[in-house]
Amino acid sequence: MKKWLLFLIKLVLTGLCLWWALREVEWDNSILASPGDLSWRWILPGIFLAGVTVLLTAFRLWVLLLAQGIRITLWRSVELTLIGNLFNLLAVGSIGSDAARIFLLIRDHPERKMAVTLAVMFDHLVGLIAMSVVFFALTAGRFDALASQSEETRAILKFSWVFFSGGLASIVFMFVMSAPPIHNRIKAKLIHTRFAMMRKFPEALDVYRTKWGHALLATAAAIVMLPIYYASFWCGARSAGSMVDATPILVAMPVVDMLSAMPLSISGLGVREASMKILMEDLTGMKPDIAVAATLIGFACSLIWTLMGGLLFLRPRDRASVETIESLTSEEEDG
């Protein structure tokens, strides 16, 4: 009951965010009212770029699993990524991309539960590192231009600087605490079985310090992947008739991505469109309907590949009930 209540709340918030993003659209002359006018010569490259994003994301997970001694094929990693994206789209309650990938990996490697869980969690940390690098690299030399924007945009960008800086600091802190000299002192005091996971977690995390080459390769793949993913939204803007350069889109998308990842709406819908509208209107003067169309088209480019995950999930090998995945997730949280 609680998960469906949460879903209804997110559904309402999604609707409110979409309404706010669309409230300034002049529908008589809007591209949103004339989807037939979209340029397919830009949509098709967007779909291709979204597909490359899936491949690089899968490669990142494959490398992180390899560091933990878990060997799967690269194609299997692609399958897990597509299925995970499907659950991320349809997430209700605790079910999401992480739960689905962890469940399917543990089913194939039941003796490596901690390593699997840590690899999937560290995949997020690598994504945060890459997003921070891209954001700082694109905004570091544009302080004056960004500072001259509206109060809303300045507030969003300041929050983003704090968020990404804090995220990087937290990751550094985690690695310091997982280093053997510090971890061993903490481990000696955690005798109760209730803290078994807390004892094992730093040991699994420290693998990425000792096998830093794997962590560096995964991070490099993520840094390359993000601009490619963001470029699919630029293709969306061009297909909607905008002549905007790719750079403002690349500057805005880490912020948009960060905000839409917050559990406020379904798959970030509404939040993504509203934040993109604010940023692109300030940075480039882009019309609200073009900004909203760009994000919806970019999302649709990825959605096409996500639906392939649904076909893969129907196979006997990967088929499982939501209740089964939920029970595994609950066991991992309790452990």
Residue whose pair of structure tokens reads 């830009």 in the numeric block: 42
What does the domain layout of the chain look like in residue ranges?
Answer: 38-334
Are 296 and 270 a contacting pair, CB within 8 Å? Answer: no
Residues in the chain, how many? Answer: 335
Q: What is the pLDDT of residues 3-22, one digit of tens each?
A: 667 778 778 888 887 887 77
Are 60 and 130 a contacting pair, CB within 8 Å? Answer: no
Q: What pLDDT, on a 0 to 100 scale, did the predictor assign at position 194?
A: 52
Residue ranges in the chain modelled with pLDDT below 70: 1-4, 28, 90-95, 141-149, 183-200, 316-335
- 23 vs 210: CA distance, rounded Å: 52
Q: What pLDDT, on a 0 to 100 scale, did the predictor assign at position 208?
A: 86
Q: What pLDDT, on a 0 to 100 scale, did the predictor assign at position 310?
A: 76
Q: What pLDDT, on a 0 to 100 scale, did the predictor assign at position 224?
A: 96
pTM given for the model: 0.84
Q: What pLDDT, on a 0 to 100 scale, did the predictor assign at position 307?
A: 87
Q: For residue 213, which amino acid is it?
A: G
Three-state SS for the chain is: CHHHHHHHHHHHHHHHHHHHHHCCCCHHHCHHHCHHHCCHHHHHHHHHHHHHHHHHHHHHHHHHHHHCCCCCCHHHHHHHHHHHHHHHHCCCCCCCHHHHHHHHHHHHCHHHHHHHHHHHHHHHHHHHHHHHHHHHHHHCCCHHHHHCCCHHHHHHHHHHHHHHHHHHHHHHHHHHHHCHHHHHHHHCCCCCHHHHHHHHHHHHHCHHHHCHHHHHHHHHHHHHHHHHHHHHHHHHHHHCCCCCCHHHHHHHHHHHHHHHCCCCCHHHCCHHHHHHHHHHHHHHCCCHHHHHHHHHHHHHHHHHHHHHHHHHHCCCCCCCCHHHHHHHHHHHHHC
Q: What pLDDT, on a 0 to 100 scale, did the predictor assign at position 193?
A: 47
- 325 vs 3: CA distance, rounded Å: 14
Q: What pLDDT, on a 0 to 100 scale, did the predictor assign at position 71?
A: 93
